[in-house]
Structure 1
Amino acid sequence: MTTKSITIKSDRTIKSIMPPTKGEILCKVSGHPKLFLRVNASGAKLWLYRYTHPVMKSKHKLSLGSYPAVTLAHATAMRLEYEQLLQQGIDPKAHREQQIKDEHKSLASTFEKVAWHHFEQLKNKQKATTLKRKHGRYELLCSYLGDTPIGDIEPLQMLEVLRDIQANSLKDDGTPTDKADRCAVIASDIFNHAIVHGYATNDPARIVKPMLDSYRYGNRPSITTPSEFGQLMRDVETLKGTVHDSVFHSIKLLSLLFIRNGDLRRLRWSDVNLDMAQIDLQPMKGHGASKLRMVKDMIVPLSRQAVEILKAQQAITGHTDYVFHSDTATKNNIINENAANDALKSLGYQGTHCAHGFRASARTMLRHKLKYDKDVIEMALGHITRDPNGTAYDRWEFVEERSQMMQEWSDYIDNLKTGKTDNVIKMPRMRQNDIKTV
């Protein structure tokens, strides 16, 4: 390197520097020790900061960029910043390298990139219908937070996002839906994913979720008047031959047994005893309060009509593990969760009655038309009930009374299908005192 005694005082000085015919020249900057401008034969000008390592005491140089992209003022400002780092015992070169790493990490760890990385990992763990529902919520969250480094998102920002989602997803009566709450759960999963991979240190979604306005699940659409229910059951009969027999049988059993659609779809033949006319069931958990009320296992008595349907189904799937086995299912080998609802929709009952609605239909008419004790009905629905001492009844409790109820309910449905809404078979009722439902 050729040394030439040129001291830079202004941009005019820099512009007046003539490139050497060969080699390089190193120019000092007036009033800024350790800062130099290196000029080579091609005319390229590069800022250099030359310093002594604060610990190793070795000589180092650090490029600050090319002139004129980096102006004289910018170069002197950087030199001042590095001088302050040296006074703190920090190596400027190491500091800048860490800054670059942090910038790259921020670009790689935006909320959007982490969110979709997390979503991709769910593909082998959750069914397609669940992922389809979640996909929209991921998109919604990313529309608010997409470009923000996930580690920089504070609770206040997260709360503002969730409240805005809630404000834009109200029911007709102005009360909140569960959309913001579900988005908060997904956001929390994404933040935990980021924490595991070193992109974040906390989960602001979990912190602010309790601050959202409360919501409640709406009732599933159901028909609860005898005449309309009779018409529904007549319409259900018209499905025979238009849908797969397994779907047809499942809808009829839902009306007779009023168990959850998911419980029926997952029913195994090993849990069915046609000789004793009963099912050994481990109910799924529901939502909200009902999740806490569901029993772990229960006996479901079968009416004569239910046994006949199961025998017909046995001729179709009796050689398989599941009562509602499906050869075309991509997962679990059982009929699709939407099969029953799609069939009801095809009959024109969308928004009026759904597969889950049979539970409300039975609860209402068993209580108000057949006059069964509400606690017996709750037991048939799989809800925990307690005796006067607070002890939960076991799954065999009142099985005879429940068997009578299930038979009477099936006979009542047959009467409704023929239009005989007042022809109720009278049977002895069980007597209960002070049974508390929880």
Structure 2
Amino acid sequence: MVQTASGPGKYFDGHGLYLRIDPNGSRFWVQRIVINGKRCELGLGSPDFVTLADARLAAFENRRLARSGGDPLAGRREAKAVLTFEEAAREVHRIHKPTWKNPKHADQFINTLATYAFPTMGNTKAPDVTTADVLAVLQPIWLDKAETARRVKQRIGTVMKWCIAKGWRKDNPVDAVDKGLPKQTAKKAHRKSLPYDQVANCLDVVAATNAGLSTKLCLELLVLTCVRSNEAREARWSEIDTKAKVWEIPAERMKMDRPHRIPLSASALTVLDRAKGLGEDLVFPGTVKGKPLSDATLLKLIRENGFDVDIHGFRTSFRTWAQERTNFPREVAEAALAHLSGDETERAYARSDLFEKRRKMMEAWAGYLADKPAKVVRIG
């Protein structure tokens, strides 16, 4: 009867299977079934694509599973729950966003994927993403935008690892993509820095400009204390003890997630004294109330005044000065930059932050910048 049915109606076969023909002529296989005590109907597809034999086999398997306590709908629900690559990436971004200390990094994560990956494989279900899909994203930019391509690759891999943890796939298609990519020959460019004997002149030039006082003082303190841009720009008065001559940056504001104590030289204290009154909380507030200066503001300050260097490069200037002009031990200079020195075993025993030795070093650095070479300290 099912084979010969033509008019609108329901034509039953077996195991709850029936053919439904609508008044408009549409035809569907449907199965009535009881799942965990609840009666429901399952759509099994159109006769145009699902033969009677296939529909009978599916109905039999569904009924067998339901009678043993299983749920034939579970697989369908799981399939609907699986996200596309773009949906998965946005979820990973949402989960990790609170852990990124710099909002810029959070934006870069999703923006690079939106630019390079989503147009190619954003609509692909996460379990279906292949190495070929990843290759199609990376190949066009692998040589021309090497650094960006490496970051896109790493971020795709992060999304895929999350999908593995969700149980949606067992492999990471990024792992094998290198076999299909040419070797990148471009060397990673180092941050541009000034020779240490030109840093004092840079500060003098900047000080003579009409730039905002907050911007100029922020740059000067950054140079004197050898901190990173965000650490200086987001400095707070609550972190600074001018009487003890120390600046304590909490772990959440540091790249290495470790608190960092900075001995303040007389020159650094002078900068801070001039900054009093600029902001109640932030030492160097930006133009928007309650917001710190932007990284672009500092970079613009030095670039527009003829210094083609990076803000981070001042740390290099200091490190080179310490190496070439003093005999402070290497570990003291590294501690001043909040770098880890030695291997894990050595660090387990050497727990001092060399604070007092660093105080002498920072006074020597400030003295050098003030063109007072007699203050450059040589130990021993």
TM-score, normalised via structure 1 length:
0.63
- CA contact 2:194–2:313 (8 Å) conserved in 1: yes
Structure with greater helix percent: 2
Deviations 1:311-361 (A, max 9, x none): 0112323xx23323457257xx43334332232333344xx3222111111
Q: Please point out which of 107, 116, 119 is paired with 1:143.
A: 119
CA distance in 2, matches of 1:119, 1:402: 39
Provide structure 2 residue ranges, at least 5 long, that are not aligned to the other structure. Answer: 28-45, 65-71
1:36–1:48 contact (8 Å) kept in structure 2: no
CA 1:426–1:346 in 2, change beyond 3 Å: closer, same or farther? Answer: closer
Establish whether residue 226 from structure 1 lines up as the match of residue 197 from structure 2. Answer: yes
Quote how far apart the aligned CAs of 1:144 are.
Answer: 2.4
CA distance 1:48–1:151, change in 2 (3 Å): farther
1:342 aligns with 2:300: yes
In structure 2, how many angstroms separate the alpha carbons of the residues matched to 1:145 and 1:341? 36
> 1:217/1:297 Cα in 2 relative to 1: closer, same or farther (>3 Å)?
farther
Which residue does 2:379 correspond to in 1?
A: 430
Q: Does 1:304 align with 2:273?
A: no
Instruction: Map Cα deviations across residues 225-282 of structure 1 (whole Å, 9 max, x no partner).
Output: 524x34433332234x323x22211101111111122222333323322223222334
Q: Are 1:202 and 2:169 matched, yes or no? A: yes
Shift of 1:309: 0.4
Q: 1:412 to 1:110 in 2, by over 3 A?
A: same
CA contact (8 A) 2:89 2:110 kept: no
Mapped partners of 2:362, 2:278: distance in 1: 25
2:24 equivalent to 1:51 = no
Taking the aligned partners of 1:76 and 1:223, their CA distance within structure 2 comes to 71
Residues 47, 115 of structure 1: alpha-carbon distance in 2 compared, 3 angstrom cutoff: farther
Residues 84 and 124 in structure 2, CA contact (< 8 A), matched pair in contact too:
yes
**Cα deviations across residues 177-213 of structure 1 (Å, max 9, x unaligned)?**
63234422552477379x4xxxx623744x7458759
Q: 1:224 to 1:88 in 2, by over 3 A?
A: same
Q: Does 1:369 align with 2:329?
A: no
Change in 2 beyond 3 A, CA 1:137/1:99? same
Aligned residues: 348
- The verdict on how the C-alpha distance between 1:185 and 1:224 changes in structure 2, with shifts beyond 3 A counting, is farther
Q: For structure 1, which segment, 249-258 or 131-140, has the greater mean C-alpha deviation from structure 2 after superposition?
A: 131-140
Corresponding residue SS for 1:316: coil
Q: Does 1:134 align with 2:134?
A: no
Name the SS for the 2:244 alignment partner.
Answer: coil
Please report the TM-score for the alignment, with normalisation by the length of structure 2.
0.71
Partners of 1:132 and 1:410 in 2: CA distance: 37
Counterpart in the other structure of 2:43:
none
**Cα distance in 1, alignment partners of residues 9 and 49 from structure 2:** 10
- Whole-Å separation in 2 of the counterparts to 1:76 and 1:376: 74
Distance 1:114 1:64, change over 3 A: farther
Aligned to 1:406: 362
Q: Which residue of 2 aligns with 1:179?
A: 151
Q: Conserved in 1, the CA contact under 8 Å of 2:235 and 2:282?
A: yes
Change (3 A) 1:84 1:167: closer
- The alignment status of 1:85 with 2:45, answered yes or no, reads no
Q: Is the 8 A contact 1:385 1:393 kept in 2?
A: no
* Closer, same or farther: CA 90–36 of 1 in aligned 2, 3 Å: farther
User: In the alignment, what sits opposite 1:110?
Assistant: 84
1:436 maps to none
Alpha-carbon separation, structure 2, partners of 1:117 and 1:174: 26
1:238 paired with 2:211, answer no
Q: Which amino acid aligns with 2:155?
A: C
In structure 2, give the amino acid aligned to 1:407.
E
Identity across aligned pairs (percent)? 17
* Displacement after TM superposition at 1:81 (Å): 1.5
